[in-house]
A and B are shown apart, each in its own frame.
Chain A
């Protein structure tokens, strides 16, 4: 079955460390996204990529970095510059640019806790 796989599910990090969250999709989707979810808030867009080797900052990109070297993969690095990294991180993908294609399919999420 096609879907989006995020790993790890749970991750603990010490302050000052970088950490990379994995996101892989086998849906043959062109676009991929990273969202951050905090309790009581909606999903906030960190970065998105419409095509391989290209990505754009979302609304809260500071302290994060991404790469899109393969269509299937869109890893997110939470750097030590991110002041409040403890959150639930969601990766998503969508087909392409037409209105019916921008329905997002989400992964199961990764919960990052900074100790």
Chain B
């Protein structure tokens, strides 16, 4: 099946720092999604990407759909304490409805 590698697995940063995380796939994806999960809750969609090269922002968050269609990046600028949580990438290849999820990046922000 499709494999997604998400890195880093965890990050410990100071408030105000910028954050970058990425996902790489062993196969081509047509859709990349980025989700955030707060402790004990379900993931919430942050950004959806549908075209290779697409760069999309949502407030302090920016995500890009890689040109090769095998990777995606999420950047968070000027982090704040409420950014803590688990960030997941998810990709969809050619099979309808079956998203493949990365392992998640655990973000901790120190005030």
Q: Could you tell me the dominant secondary structure of chain B's interface residues? A: loop
In the complex, are the beta carbons of A106 and B42 less than 8 A apart?
Answer: yes
Residues of A contacting B42 in the complex (Cβ-Cβ under 8 angstroms): 4, 6, 90, 92, 106-109
A19 within 8 A of B: no
A100 within 8 A of B: yes
| Closest chain A residue to B103, Cβ basis | A42
- Number of residue pairs A-B, CB distance < 8 angstroms: 67
Residues of A contacting B69 in the complex (Cβ-Cβ under 8 angstroms): none
- Identify which of A35, A40, A48, A50 contacts B103 (C-beta below 8 A): A40
CB-defined interface of B18-49 with A at 8 Å, one 1/0 digit per residue?
00000000000011010100001111110010
Q: Report the minimum CB–CB distance from A10 to chain B (whole Å).
A: 10
| Closest chain A residue to B10, Cβ basis | A40
B98 within 8 A of A: yes
A79 within 8 A of B: no
- Identify which of B1, B9, B44, B48 contacts A106 (C-beta below 8 A): B44
A45 within 8 A of B: yes
Residues on A facing B (Cβ under 8 Å): 4, 6, 31, 33, 35, 40-45, 48, 50, 58-59, 90, 92, 94, 97, 99-100, 102-109, 111
